[in-house]
């Protein structure tokens, strides 16, 4: 009996030591999720501004990070390269305008090159079905996820900070 | 349930594809509101009840480098050396077009559309050949019903189906002046009161050969490619990219005059086949289009020989075929047109005061009369949608059936255009002009006064 108590105590002490360490290890990776569910191009440029700042900060300070953009609803247009037969229309602001006049697509490409695999772009399959968007019509870096909101919930559960651009 | 959703989805997809097919089709663009819109990139059904207010101003400076010749009787013989619309001088600034328009949806389902446009500029609509009394100040007022699939109905006053040059929105073209054939034979100067026939027709002959009339009053505005009537039209997709556009219109034949009579009834027909390369709308829609059109109507003149007034009924036919191509900044257009029956033969000064003019219009009537002509046009955007260079060559052979009255016109226009945004731009044109009277040496002496013309035009569209 005494031996059993000793064993339990040791296990409890080990847990007290180990769990915070594990938690600390998880918190070393900064996770951020951006919902892209709006059409307003000014908001998209603002979102890209904040993303640029984040990526530069984390890279400069050698901080591990995982940024996810989750596109659904009107925001899916910003992850597309071909609009034919879809419920979206390719607008000039995708390729023109913005700080260096390369549009939202040009800025997304630059950002993706800068961040590499630390930046992932998820596109809602429900929206794609509704708006008749095929996977091959998306930008090559886009990843299809069954539901945009589901993905956001999942990312939040994993500890991602949700940044909603207004 | 699944099959219902699929059907709905396919319907939506079809609707989207149909909506995009009217992109460069002027009949659809002017006659109906779009089925779908995507102001922020997402296609949604057009259901806005707020009227769209739009318009444009075109102010220009022109300089004609020809000569003016006054006959010993004090009559100005060279209207071609004077500037439209008032034919008074050879250079000057002019607000040629100042138009304000409203269009939109008049129901809840986008099945009833309307289009209304005014004109306040110093143009043929308000000041034809210096006749200020013709002014109407408005050019378009129409209602379109879209209840029957592929058979839209437009009723009111609007642009008639016809030549591309006349049918396209006038403020998009970088050319300041129309081609000679379009200006003289399609842009109708309508008159009712004319003098005696010249020469007097043989007894018993209806409209004998080579009969000409000169108006005694100008009391109607230029027709501006428009008429009042009813039109059935639509665009029907025949494949993923190809579409057929058709139109038939029955009109009064009165242009934009305030008249409710169909005594000059005119039939208008139009058929076009277009391969759509992209889904943009309007002038920058990339496509290749082939089209043909015909206009066939009656015109009534009241001829007064100083004693009695006689009603003269004549035929007026116009038809043509053409094509347009626009892709990657390269635009090519060509059109061949023919006129038969009533032929406009120019303005004539009736005032013997050498310092004043009273411009009247001359016509050859009779079915034997013809005129034909056309143009080829090439435009290239050196800087896409910003800086464009262009050239156009147009010809007209007027009355080849009448040796004395025959005139041959040739015009080559070169120019460049800088766009500030969309249709808001500055255009510079230089037109090399030439005219011949092969069988009439006296007329040739007058035509030798024709000179080149420089135009600079500013367009602001909003």
Q: Categorise residue B404: left if φ over 0, alpha if ψ from -120 to 50, beta otherwise.
A: alpha
Distance from CA of A164 to the nearest CA of B (A): 19
Q: Which residues contact A115 (CB under 8 A, 6 or more apart)?
A: A55, A67
Residue B428: both structure tokens together: 């510079």
> Is the Cβ pair B42, A87 closer than 8 Å?
yes
- How buried is residue B28: exposed, middle or buried, by Cβ count under 10 Å (0-12/13-18/19+)? buried
Task: Name chain B contacts of A103, Cβ cutoff 8 Å.
Answer: none
Residue B249: both structure tokens together: 């219109």
Task: Name chain A contacts of B5, Cβ cutoff 8 Å.
Answer: none
Give pLDDT, residue B14.
40
Tell me: pLDDT of B171 over 90. Answer: yes
Distance from CA of B118 to the nearest CA of A (A): 31
Task: Name chain B contacts of A87, Cβ cutoff 8 Å.
Answer: 12, 16, 42-43
d(CA B27, CA B247): 8
Q: Which residues contact B231 (CB under 8 A, 6 or more apart)?
A: B31, B153, B154, B155, B158, B160, B161, B247, B248, B249, B250, B268
Q: How crowded is the C-beta side of B87, counted as CA atoms within 13 Å?
A: 23
> Chain-wide mean pLDDT for chain A?
89
Task: Indicate if the alpha-carbon torsion angle A123, A126, A130, A136 is positive or negative.
Answer: positive
> Is the Cβ pair A40, B41 closer than 8 Å?
no
Give pLDDT, residue B244.
96
Residue in B10, B22, B41 to test binding to A, most A beta-carbons within 10 Å: B41
Length of chain B: 462
Question: Angle at Cα A157 formed by Cα A156 and Cα A158, nearest 5°?
Answer: 90
- For chain A, give me the number of helices (H) and strands (E)? 5, 5
| Reported confidence tier of residue B39, pLDDT bands at 50, 70, 90 | confident
Which residue of B9, B42, B279 is in closest CB contact with A74? B42
Q: Which segments of A28-147 does DSSP mark as H helices, in order? A: 41-60, 103-115, 125-130
Tell me: pLDDT of B18 over 70. Answer: no
Q: What percent of chain B has pLDDT over 70?
A: 93
Task: Name chain B contacts of A85, Cβ cutoff 8 Å.
Answer: 13, 16-17
Q: Which residues contact A49 (CB under 8 A, 6 or more apart)?
A: none
pLDDT in tens, A130-154: 999 999 999 999 999 999 999 999 9
Distance from CA of B416 to the nearest CA of A (A): 24
d(CA B438, CA A62): 87
Task: Name chain B contacts of A40, Cβ cutoff 8 Å.
Answer: 40
- How buried is residue B149: exposed, middle or buried, by Cβ count under 10 Å (0-12/13-18/19+)? exposed
pLDDT in tens, B105-139: 999 999 999 999 999 999 999 999 999 999 999 89
Which pTM value belongs to this model? 0.85
The interface predicted TM-score of the complex, written ipTM, equals: 0.74
Q: Which segments of B66-179 does DSSP mark as H helices, in order? A: 164-167
């Amino acid at each position: 009996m005494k031996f059993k108590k000793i064993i339990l105590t040791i296990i409890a002490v080990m847990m007290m030591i180990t769990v915070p360490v594990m938690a600390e290890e998880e918190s070393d990776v900064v996770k951020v999720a951006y919902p892209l569910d709006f059409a307003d191009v000014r908001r998209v440029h603002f979102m890209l501004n904040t993303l640029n700042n984040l990526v530069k900060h984390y890279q400069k300070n050698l901080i591990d990070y995982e940024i996810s953009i989750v596109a659904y609803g009107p925001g899916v247009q910003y992850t597309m390269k071909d609009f034919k037969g879809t419920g979206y229309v390719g607008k000039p602001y995708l390729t023109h305008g913005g700080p260096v006049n390369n549009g939202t697509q040009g800025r997304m490409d630059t950002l993706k090159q800068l961040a590499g695999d630390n930046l992932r772009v998820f596109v809602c399959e429900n929206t794609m079905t509704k708006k008749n968007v095929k996977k091959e019509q998306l930008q090559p870096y886009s990843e299809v996820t069954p539901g945009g909101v589901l993905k956001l919930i999942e990312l939040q559960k994993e500890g991602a900070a949700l940044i909603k651009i207004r | 349930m699944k099959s219902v959703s699929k059907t709905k989805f396919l319907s939506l997809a079809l609707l989207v594809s149909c909506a995009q097919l009217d992109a460069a089709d002027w009949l659809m663009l002017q006659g109906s509101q779009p089925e779908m819109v995507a102001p922020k990139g997402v296609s949604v059904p057009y259901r806005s009840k707020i009227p769209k207010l739009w318009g444009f101003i075109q102010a220009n400076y022109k300089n004609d480098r020809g000569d003016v010749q006054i006959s010993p009787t004090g009559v100005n013989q060279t209207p071609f050396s004077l500037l439209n619309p008032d034919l008074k001088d050879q250079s000057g600034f002019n607000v040629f077009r100042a138009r304000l328009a409203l269009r939109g949806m008049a129901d809840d389902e986008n099945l009833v559309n309307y289009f209304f446009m005014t004109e306040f500029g110093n143009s043929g609509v308000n000041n034809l050949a210096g006749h200020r009394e013709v002014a109407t100040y408005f050019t378009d007022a129409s209602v379109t019903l879209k209840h029957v699939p592929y058979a839209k109905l437009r009723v009111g006053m609007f642009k008639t189906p016809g030549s591309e040059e006349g049918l396209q929105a006038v403020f998009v073209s970088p050319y300041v002046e129309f081609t000679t054939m379009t200006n003289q034979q399609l842009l109708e100067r309508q008159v009712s009161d004319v003098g005696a026939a010249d020469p007097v027709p043989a007894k018993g002959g209806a409209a004998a050969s080579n009969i000409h009339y000169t108006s005694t009053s100008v009391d109607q505005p230029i027709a501006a490619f428009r008429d009042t009537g009813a039109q059935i039209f639509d665009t029907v997709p025949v494949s993923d990219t190809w579409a057929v556009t058709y139109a038939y219109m029955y009109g009064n034949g009165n242009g934009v005059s305030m008249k409710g009579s169909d005594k000059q009834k005119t039939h208008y027909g139009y058929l076009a086949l277009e391969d759509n390369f992209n889904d943009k709308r309007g002038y920058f829609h990339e496509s290749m289009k082939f089209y043909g059109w015909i206009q066939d109507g009656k015109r009534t003149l009241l001829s007064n020989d100083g004693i009695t007034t006689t009603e003269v009924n004549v035929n007026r036919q116009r038809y043509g075929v053409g094509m347009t191509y626009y892709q990657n900044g390269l635009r090519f257009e060509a059109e061949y047109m023919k006129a038969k029956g009533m032929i406009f033969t120019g303005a004539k000064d009736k005032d013997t005061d050498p310092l004043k003019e009273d411009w009247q219009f001359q016509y050859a009537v009779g079915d034997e009369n013809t005129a034909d002509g056309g143009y080829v046009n090439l435009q290239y955007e050196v800087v896409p949608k910003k800086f464009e260079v262009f050239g156009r060559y147009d010809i007209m052979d007027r009355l080849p059936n009448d040796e004395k009255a025959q005139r041959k016109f040739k015009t080559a226009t070169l120019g460049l255009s800088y766009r500030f945004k969309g249709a808001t731009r500055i255009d510079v044109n230089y037109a090399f002009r030439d005219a011949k009277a092969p069988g009439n040496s006296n007329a040739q002496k007058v035509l030798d006064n024709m000179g080149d013309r420089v135009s600079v035009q500013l367009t602001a569209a909003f």
